């Protein structure tokens, strides 16, 4: 009786290796595709920004001069020359006053929400109101300040503009600062309190220095938004052609209001002043950002 041997099977050649190679190639393709998508998104964001910056610098640089920064605003849109000194002073004074009101109050509110309030009913109400105020149009805030302050005082003032801008800045500072405080590891708080520090001391010396960079970024976003607002300034501050350093007496003006008024006309001289005012506003906001970044970095280093 003969026994037939089973046919020899051909050994698989490189089965696992081929699978790993296919997976590796698929991962490389996915990685390249994701990288290309990220760079495409970056280009979509950078190209419009670059075009805006190129246009503003190209048209505003020809107007910029020492006289443009120091002379009064012409009382006629037809007149050539003149400057934006009253609007520059008004922007600095009004935005500075709004920041002095909104940033400390917003940071204190964020500290309460994250360190003390947690999920208490009052904390929930504050978060809800902050979220609602974030979506309120600036024109509505301007009308609110006009009814509640301008009509009560009887005149348009720079302080009314600062109040309107502070109301717009406050919810942004509260929510951004709270998110930055949430990112501070809980272990840092526990370690500080284990060494005998009270909660307020821990918050002041441990939590705030750890979150100061993010809080500064959120505050700068709020300042940048406030510095570019036009509707509240037009409604509650009025208009002037000479500098007014007094927030509580007399009308005032700011660069966004002058950009709107001059750009809305058909006179070339007024449109040139609008481009110069736009470039000046960008430089002011950029300067605020650089100064605040430097101060926050020095503060953080000192605390460490």
How long, in residues, is the chain?
304
Convert the pLDDT of each residue in 175-234 to its tens digit: 999 999 998 888 888 888 888 888 888 888 889 888 888 888 888 888 888 888 888 999
Per-residue pLDDT at 303 exceeds 50: no
- With pLDDT > 90 as the criterion, what percentage of the chain qualifies? 36
Q: Which domains does the chain have, with CATH numbers?
A: 66-71+79-299 (1.10.3720.10)
pTM above 0.85, yes or no: no
HEC states along 227-276? Answer: HCCCHHHHHHHCCCCCCCCCCCCCCCCCHHHHHHHHHCCCCHHHHHHHHH
Q: What's the half-sphere exposure (Cβ side, CA atoms, 13 Å) at 89?
A: 21
Banded model confidence at residue 4, pLDDT cuts 50, 70, 90: low
pLDDT at 16: 62
Convert the pLDDT of each residue in 63-86 to its tens digit: 888 889 999 998 888 888 888 999
pLDDT at 254: 92
């Amino acid at each position: 009786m003969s026994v037939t041997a089973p046919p020899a099977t051909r050994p698989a050649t490189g089965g696992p290796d081929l699978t790993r190679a296919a997976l590796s190639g698929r991962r490389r393709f996915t990685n390249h595709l994701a990288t290309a998508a990220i760079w495409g998104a970056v280009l979509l964001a950078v190209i419009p920004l670059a075009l805006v910056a190129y246009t503003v610098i190209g048209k505003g640089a020809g107007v910029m001069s020492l006289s443009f920064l120091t002379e009064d605003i012409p009382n006629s849109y037809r007149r050539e020359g003149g400057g934006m000194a009253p609007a520059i002073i008004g922007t600095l004074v009004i935005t500075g006053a709004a920041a002095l009101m909104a940033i400390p109050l917003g940071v204190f509110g964020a500290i309460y929400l994250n360190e003390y309030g947690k999920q208490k009913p009052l904390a929930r109400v504050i978060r809800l109101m902050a979220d609602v105020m974030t979506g309120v149009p600036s024109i509505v805030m301007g009308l609110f300040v006009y009814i509640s302050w301008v009509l009560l005082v009887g005149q348009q003032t720079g302080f009314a503009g600062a109040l309107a801008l502070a109301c717009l800045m406050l919810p942004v500072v509260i929510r951004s600062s709270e998110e930055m405080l949430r990112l501070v590891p809980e272990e840092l708080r526990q370690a500080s309190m284990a060494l005998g520090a009270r909660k307020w001391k821990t918050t002041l010396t441990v939590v705030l220095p750890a979150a100061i960079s993010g809080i500064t970024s959120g505050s700068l976003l709020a300042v940048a938004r406030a510095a570019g607002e036009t509707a509240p300034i037009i409604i509650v501050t009025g208009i002037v052609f000479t500098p007014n350093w007094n927030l509580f007496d007399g009308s005032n003006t700011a660069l966004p209001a002058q950009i709107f008024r001059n750009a809305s006309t058909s006179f070339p001289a007024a449109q040139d002043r609008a481009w110069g005012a736009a470039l000046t506003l960008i430089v002011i906001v950029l300067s605020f950002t650089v100064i605040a970044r430097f101060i926050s970095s020095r503060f953080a280093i000192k605390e460490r």
